[in-house]
């Protein structure tokens, strides 16, 4: 499923115009991006939780040369599905 599929689903369920549905979906995604960039947790009941966790420094290898490469610390977005989402078969 891509963003366009989500927009079409919103149009089908609500009957609003495609332009307004696209704006609504884009607004939701932008607000989620801003919250995660600020380090906030996003909890969607019945769906799951998005949060940002620190990532440790590590050592990787260049697959061509085999040389060691240091991987800098960073932040990674993690998703933990809710119970309802986990029970889907």
Q: What CATH number did the domain enclosing 59 receive? A: 4.10.520.10
- Would the pLDDT of 89 be above 90? no
The first and second tokens of residue 27, run together, are 């607004």
Q: How many separate domains does the chain show?
A: 1
What is the pTM assigned to this prediction?
A: 0.78
Sign of CA dihedral 9, 10, 16, 22: negative
| pLDDT value, residue 71 | 92
The parent domain of residue 42 ranges over 3-86
Q: Convert the pLDDT of each residue in 28-83 to its tens digit.
A: 999 999 999 999 999 999 999 999 999 999 999 999 999 999 999 999 999 999 99
* Residues contacting 64, CB < 8 A, separation 6+: none
Q: Convert the pLDDT of each residue in 21-36 to its tens digit.
A: 999 999 999 999 999 9
């Amino acid at each position: 499923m891509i963003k366009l599929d989500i927009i079409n689903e919103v149009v089908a369920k609500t009957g609003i115009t495609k332009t307004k549905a696209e704006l609504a979906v884009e607004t939701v995604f932008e607000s989620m991006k801003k919250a995660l960039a600020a380090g906030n947790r996003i909890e969607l009941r019945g769906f799951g939780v998005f949060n940002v966790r620190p990532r440790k420094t590590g050592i990787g290898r260049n697959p061509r040369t085999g040389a060691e490469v240091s991987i800098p610390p960073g932040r990674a977005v993690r998703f933990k599905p809710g119970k309802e989402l986990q029970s889907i078969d």
